[in-house]
Structure 1
Amino acid sequence: MGEAVTAPASLIPPFVSLSDLIHGHARERPDALALSDGQQSLTYAALDAQMDRIAASLQRDGLRAGDVVSVCAASSVRYALVFVAALRAGIVVTPLAPSSTAASLCSMLHDAEAKLLFLDAQVAALLDAASDTGEQAPARIALDDSDAGQRFDEWLADAGSAPASVEVQPQHPFNIIYSSGTTGTPKGIVQSHAMRWAHIQRGVAYGYGPDAVTLLATPLYSNTTLVSFFPTLGLGGQVHLMAKFDAENYLRIAERIRATHTMLVPVQYQRIMALPSFGQFDLRSFQAKFSTSAPFRAPLKADVLARWPGGLIEFYGMTEGGGTCILEAHLHPDKLHTVGKPATTSDIRLIDENDRELPPGTTDVPGEVVGRSPGMMTGYHRQDAKTREVEWFDVTGSRFIRTGDVGRFDADGFLTLVDRRKDMIISGGFNIYPSDLEAELRAHPDVADVAVVGVPSEQWGETPVAYVVRAADASCDAPTLKAWYNARAGKTQRLADLRFIDELPRSAIGKVLKRELRDLYLSASN
């Protein structure tokens, strides 16, 4: 695998919808396996036929191109079916996180104006607890054949049913992905068919194709999963879904199915590599392993490279789009501390605190990362003001998306992330990047994991505090560890407090929920 991430023009036509790509595979390779979840499997012929039935059912219920349906359930073949089938009818899909609060789910369903909700029993119980919201709830279809709604098989049109043809254009909305909502009201990120098409095009360079066997252990509501899911199906490979991640079971499945591709978040790599039994599994079938969504520490990347066959590729970008950096770690083992170089189709720049672009070629000077590419969101659903907040325009008027991350380019054009702009701590007028403090703390043998957050301070405005997960054989107490760190830190980077915690709170895709840590600290201090 080389540097290029753009598919050769001879291999990919100008634009084909995902639905048409799947139909083509069903025609050319009807018996090839398309989807499996350990309970149910579908060939491309069966997938195509089921997509027709579901699309016809949606049209029967009065849904038209541009309408929205939502899916909120554990990952399964049926979940995947509904997602791709809705696209055949020109319908926009909003996948939602079952881990959301009931109030948040109701809010997102209302904001998306979903006409139907495909769910399971667990989500139904959650929503029923919030039935007094007063908002009109969409009709429910139960994916798991429970009493969560009308049973899927009863709702589904007869075998052989076909939908009315819908012509999909690149600019049409494909899906709405809601932000996590951990820092406020979730925002609906509208992604177009063109954006997903760009992901499929990129997939050719990484070996996605008819021989690809992709194992996915992250949820289907996450863009992390979808950037691997759609290229696999679009280019004719197999997708194997895990409803719940378990490190040893993941390895067992990977060995059995001879997985060639996977997408994992860093905390999953960490748990897999920590298994004493890791070396017992035959993983030689792997061609490409991907990661995104959360910081991927250099030592962990090095461990994956040393012990897990196949390439390791890290994507850095946002669900909103706006450009991607790619680190092909197996080709650049001296750049593991970076997130790679801008993709060939991406324009990544840095701007200062006054929104002025840093001069091209500037190295080792931090700035906020902004980017543009063919894979950019249309905007936030029904939130024009929020959309404008994340847009930045250069002197030519070209539109970029702000990432909120602070980074710096090195002399070779590789991007190193310094920290999240919103996580930066301003203490006594000095900018403190929590990632610097966390890196120093991880050097202590008693520290297994750590997160540093800023909390209010009457004297300094903000001051840093650390939450530490101790290593299994740790003997150091909190005051001693704090003193050890502060003796090594600059005056402005010293910790005001350090506390132990059993496990850092994380989202389903592995991001540390720093807001929860701040709230925990403030509530414990009052």
Structure 2
Amino acid sequence: MSTWGNLTRVFDRACAYYPDRTAVVEGDRRITYREMRDWTNRIAHGLAALGVAHGERVGMLLPNSLELVPTLFGIWRRGATLVQMPARSGIDDWRYFLRESHASTLIYHAQFDYAISKIRADLPELKHLVRLGSPEGDSAVEAADYDDVFSNQPTDDFSAMITPDDIAYVAFTSGTTGVPKGIIQSHRSWSHYVITAGLEIGDTRPGEVFAHVAPLTHFTQIFLVPTFMRGGTNVVLPGFDIEKFLTTIQQEKVTATAVVPTILYTLLDYPRLGDFDLSSLRTVVYAGSPMAPERLQQALEVFGPIFVQTYAGSEPGFTTCLRKEEHRVDSDEWIKRLSSAGRPMFHVDVSIQDEHDNILPPGEIGEICARQEGQMVSYLDPEKNAEAMRGGWVHSGDIGYVDEDGYVYIVDRKKDMIVTGGMNVFPRQIEDILQEHPAVAQCAVIGVPHEQWGEAVTAFVVRRDGATVTADELVAMVKERKGGAWAPKTVNFVDQLPLNASGKVDKKKLREPYWVGRTRQVS
């Protein structure tokens, strides 16, 4: 049988080719490919012994850790479906994810014990709980111990008849535009997704050493398989601590990583950045939200041409890529392209469509739509498919345009658009202008209710350490570039911006205080 469309067979081939190489590193802990494969077999046998049947849904609520990797592949090896549980979400979301997916089993870390105790009674379909580690004090949750369930299981290959159309996992959108939607990916579609990540985005090479500093329950997970396919090492960090991250790159000779722009901004502003040897880095993928062109130019000056941008979404999959060789600053034309999301990947069709689903010509602004093998199979609730899957296209909810050379420019989220005085204003364009000011480290722009204008443009700004700038300066800067309608009516200086579980700026949280009690919630 071909390995295509079966994630466990791709995994097994890597383990067979590179049995004695280091597969996963977390701090002082290391496991080889052989040890990792044995571990996944124990997970599969243990799940079967619990009574988890083929196709049942298994939630996994683990922080970034060595255990997460073999547990993930062990769930698939059993033939079960992974329910993605972002560790940076909260109690309400975890309850929602387990309930909506009809999960029968949850493997979770003891640090989440209190949360599980609060939601356990609301989940009658949840039959099995397996806890990794020991909770602090007495636990109110009746859960089996991870080691008791899995450690003594056999290591011989667990054979599950997995077909390409079997569901690999259920994930949930980040909820930036409302209630998270569950999406389904099959082994076939997810295989396409991860191989694309390695070959076309990550440029994964033999012996890659990939550092996972962003949550493995988000987009960085997709680089696990490509790294394994090339006999490389996945280095897992528990979270973003700048000293730990830089020290790890230096000590492990990390060659690649994937981050959200907020992490890059923090690195660029770190006064001790030059104290670390980062010469091994040759690929930094950034995704999750657009990066301000001014900061991107700064990053190129500091790190060199090692950056790759990818534009993707839970529903459409990987859509476009701005490759390393396209990160150029040697002409105005190339500098302009730094603000783009790159061009469609070879296997992806992209179109810009109006509100009637008509395809628009280059230069005209509309909704970005895509179609490809790596897109979601369906929403968990198929009745929601009509919202995003129309005419063979997945509608992203993002607003943008394509230029004559095929570069896609994201103007904004469709539902982030601000309507002020009858004009459509796109926060991303204001944010890019604000980021050009040398005193601005990060910013976010939202619309808040206003009796006269409908919505008022409001900015939240994080200053660089030691830098000063006034609200009037920033307002004048935007007004000069875009006009009075686009200029913020209010500028709020804050110490930090809230982030959601995906590491994106949580504009929903910024808006909440302004829209309480109103029937229209901009989200």
TM-score by length of 1: 0.89
CA distance in 1, matches of 2:93, 2:226: 30
Match of 1:31 among 15, 20, 32: 20
Partner of 2:51: 62
CA distance in 2, matches of 1:337, 1:112: 37
> Secondary structure of 1:70's match?
strand
Partner of 1:277: 272
Partner of 1:101: 90
The Cα of 1:52 is off from its aligned counterpart by: 0.9
Partner of 1:197: 191
Match of 1:466 among 442, 448, 459: 459
Alignment CA distance shift 1:236-1:104 (3 Å): same
Alignment CA distance shift 1:308-1:474 (3 Å): closer
Partner of 1:367: 366
Match of 2:181 among 179, 183, 187: 187
1:240-251 to 2 correspondences below 5 Å: 240-251=235-246
Match of 1:266 among 253, 261, 274: 261
1:70-109 to 2 correspondences below 5 Å: 70-109=59-98
The Cα of 1:243 is off from its aligned counterpart by: 1.0
1:110 pairs with 2:99 = yes
The Cα of 1:354 is off from its aligned counterpart by: 2.3
CA distance in 2, matches of 1:306, 1:86: 43
The Cα of 1:51 is off from its aligned counterpart by: 1.0
Alignment CA distance shift 1:323-1:160 (3 Å): closer
Aligned residues: 503
CA distance in 1, matches of 2:408, 2:416: 19
1:142 pairs with 2:131 = yes
Alignment CA distance shift 1:311-1:18 (3 Å): same
Q: Indicate if the aligned counterparts of 1:170 and 1:192 stay in contact, CA closer than 8 A.
A: yes
Match of 1:301 among 275, 296, 301: 296
Higher mean Cα deviation, 476-485 or 29-38? 476-485
Unaligned runs of 5+ in 1: 1-12, 394-398
Alignment CA distance shift 1:28-1:437 (3 Å): closer
CA distance in 1, matches of 2:130, 2:378: 29
Q: Indicate if the aligned counterparts of 1:199 and 1:231 stay in contact, CA closer than 8 A.
A: no
1:330-369 to 2 correspondences below 5 Å: 330-333=325-328, 334=334, 335-358=337-360, 362-369=361-368
What percent identity do the matched residue pairs reach? 28
CA distance in 1, matches of 2:473, 2:297: 30
The Cα of 1:241 is off from its aligned counterpart by: 0.5
Q: Indicate if the aligned counterparts of 2:433 and 2:477 stay in contact, CA closer than 8 A.
A: no
Match of 2:441 among 412, 434, 448: 448
Match of 2:384 among 383, 386, 396: 386
The Cα of 1:161 is off from its aligned counterpart by: 4.2
Q: Indicate if the aligned counterparts of 1:325 and 1:341 stay in contact, CA closer than 8 A.
A: yes
CA distance in 2, matches of 1:474, 1:161: 58
Deviations 1:326-349 (A, max 9, x none): 001433411211110000000000
Q: Aligned partner of 1:213: which letter?
A: V
Alignment CA distance shift 1:442-1:281 (3 Å): same
Q: Indicate if the aligned counterparts of 2:46 and 2:153 stay in contact, CA closer than 8 A.
A: no
Deviations 1:445-482 (A, max 9, x none): 44332211112223222221122223333444445644
CA distance in 1, matches of 2:493, 2:253: 40
CA distance in 2, matches of 1:34, 1:252: 20
Partner of 1:5: none
Partner of 2:399: 406
Q: Indicate if the aligned counterparts of 2:59 and 2:83 stay in contact, CA closer than 8 A.
A: yes
1:168 pairs with 2:162 = yes
The Cα of 1:199 is off from its aligned counterpart by: 3.2
Q: Indicate if the aligned counterparts of 1:321 and 1:401 stay in contact, CA closer than 8 A.
A: yes
> Secondary structure of 2:441's match?
strand
CA distance in 2, matches of 1:281, 1:472: 21
Q: Indicate if the aligned counterparts of 2:98 and 2:123 stay in contact, CA closer than 8 A.
A: no
Alignment CA distance shift 1:474-1:286 (3 Å): closer
Match of 2:147 among 137, 149, 153: 153
Alignment CA distance shift 1:471-1:522 (3 Å): farther
The Cα of 1:74 is off from its aligned counterpart by: 0.9
Q: Indicate if the aligned counterparts of 1:79 and 1:143 stay in contact, CA closer than 8 A.
A: no
Alignment CA distance shift 1:105-1:249 (3 Å): same
TM-score by length of 2: 0.90
Q: Indicate if the aligned counterparts of 2:305 and 2:324 stay in contact, CA closer than 8 A.
A: no
> Secondary structure of 1:492's match?
coil
CA distance in 1, matches of 2:19, 2:318: 36
Q: Indicate if the aligned counterparts of 1:284 and 1:309 stay in contact, CA closer than 8 A.
A: no
Q: Indicate if the aligned counterparts of 2:208 and 2:233 stay in contact, CA closer than 8 A.
A: yes
Partner of 2:308: 313
Q: Aligned partner of 2:300: which letter?
A: L
CA distance in 2, matches of 1:496, 1:106: 39
Alignment CA distance shift 1:151-1:442 (3 Å): same
Alignment CA distance shift 1:494-1:200 (3 Å): closer
The Cα of 1:87 is off from its aligned counterpart by: 0.8
1:287 pairs with 2:287 = no
Higher mean Cα deviation, 424-433 or 137-146? 137-146
Q: Aligned partner of 1:400: which letter?
A: W
CA distance in 2, matches of 1:45, 1:273: 39
> Secondary structure of 2:67's match?
helix
Higher mean Cα deviation, 179-188 or 38-47? 179-188
Q: Aligned partner of 1:228: which letter?
A: F
Q: Aligned partner of 1:316: which letter?
A: Y
Higher mean Cα deviation, 52-61 or 199-208? 199-208
Partner of 1:22: 11
> Secondary structure of 2:295's match?
helix
Q: Indicate if the aligned counterparts of 1:478 and 1:498 stay in contact, CA closer than 8 A.
A: yes
The Cα of 1:424 is off from its aligned counterpart by: 0.6
CA distance in 2, matches of 1:200, 1:445: 38
CA distance in 1, matches of 2:517, 2:354: 36
The Cα of 1:39 is off from its aligned counterpart by: 4.3
Q: Indicate if the aligned counterparts of 1:141 and 1:150 stay in contact, CA closer than 8 A.
A: yes
Alignment CA distance shift 1:276-1:511 (3 Å): same
The Cα of 1:418 is off from its aligned counterpart by: 0.8
CA distance in 2, matches of 1:510, 1:259: 22
Q: Indicate if the aligned counterparts of 2:269 and 2:464 stay in contact, CA closer than 8 A.
A: no
CA distance in 2, matches of 1:200, 1:452: 33
